[in-house]
């Protein structure tokens, strides 16, 4: 049985944050990453035991499996802070959706971020009209709609398709999941789309007007 220490916010559901606090914490961590002043953390027996007793992330991320895009590093968060689901092209498959539902319903995360990235290989394959069978075919089929949207936008096509895919998945989450949809409608959870720029290390928050927090440097 997990026991919560009310004096330590790290050991409470959602770490005691609101959805606005959660996004702000992510942005502040990203500024530390960009400025090369990431937090120093110690691995102590006490901390290891706390993590063995239970997990209390404040945010969930649906990101790409690309080895260059590690959310814990990019947002300078500690082990146990983020509930991360990674799949090529950050598509929304059944396993990923179930994982995010668990994060909302049982871990009480306050923020879901759909996290795409520049030069995504899966999205690039979809823009080139590649076809495949089996699981790879399913992955590519999930990206077709975003590519079609991107074709009507100013170039470059790959950048627009990456962004369109992120926006599409943020819209699909509450539609495909009653659990997530209700949490968003009740104001408990916010869904935000973001794109990581590999060349600069920057993160663009998409549709920030709906994110509820300013992206100003802290």
Give a yes or no: residue 159 inside a domain: yes
User: What domain range includes position 145?
Assistant: 13-210
User: CATH code at 41?
Assistant: 3.40.1050.10
Give a yes or no: residue 3 inside a domain: no
- Which pLDDT score, from 0 to 100, does residue 215 have? 39
Give a yes or no: residue 2 inside a domain: no
CA distances from 200 to 118, 196, 203 (A): 10, 9, 9
pLDDT by residue for the chain (218 residues), tens only, comes to 345 555 788 889 999 999 999 999 999 999 999 999 988 887 888 888 888 889 999 999 999 999 999 999 999 999 999 999 999 999 999 999 999 999 999 999 999 999 999 999 999 999 999 888 999 999 999 999 999 999 999 999 999 999 999 999 999 999 999 999 999 999 999 999 999 999 999 999 996 544 444 433 43
- Which pLDDT score, from 0 to 100, does residue 113 have? 97
Give a yes or no: residue 6 inside a domain: no
Question: In angstroms, how far is the first alpha carbon of the chain from the final one?
Answer: 38
Length of the chain: 218
Give a yes or no: residue 1 inside a domain: no
Count: domains in the chain? 1
Q: Which helix (H) or strand (E) holds 32?
A: helix 19-34
Give a yes or no: residue 49 inside a domain: yes
Per the CB < 8 A criterion, the answer to whether 20 and 72 are in contact is no
pTM reported for the whole predicted model: 0.90
- Which pLDDT score, from 0 to 100, does residue 53 have? 87
Give a yes or no: residue 8 inside a domain: no
Give a yes or no: residue 154 inside a domain: yes
């Amino acid at each position: 049985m997990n026991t919560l220490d009310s004096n330590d916010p790290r050991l409470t559901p959602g770490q005691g944050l609101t959805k606005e606090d959660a996004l702000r914490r992510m942005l502040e961590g990203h500024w530390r990453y960009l400025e090369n002043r990431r937090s120093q953390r110690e691995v102590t027996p006490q901390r290891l035991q706390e993590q063995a007793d239970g997990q209390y992330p404040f945010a969930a991320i649906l990101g790409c499996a690309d080895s260059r895009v590690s959310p814990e590093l990019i947002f300078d968060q500690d082990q146990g802070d983020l509930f991360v689901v990674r799949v090529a092209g950050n598509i929304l498959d059944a396993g990923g959706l179930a994982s995010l539902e668990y994060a909302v319903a049982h871990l009480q995360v306050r923020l879901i971020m759909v996290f795409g990235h520049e030069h995504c290989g899966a999205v690039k394959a979809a823009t080139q009209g590649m076809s495949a069978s089996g699981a790879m075919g399913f992955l590519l089929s999930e990206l077709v709609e975003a590519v079609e949207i991107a074709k009507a936008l100013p170039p470059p096509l790959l950048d627009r398709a990456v962004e369109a895919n992120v926006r599409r998945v943020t819209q699909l989450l509450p539609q495909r999941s009653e659990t997530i949809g209700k949490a968003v409608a009740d104001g408990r959870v916010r869904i935000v789309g973001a794109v990581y720029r590999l060349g600069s290390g920057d993160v663009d928050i998409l549709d920030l007007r709906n994110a509820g927090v300013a992206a100003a440097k802290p």
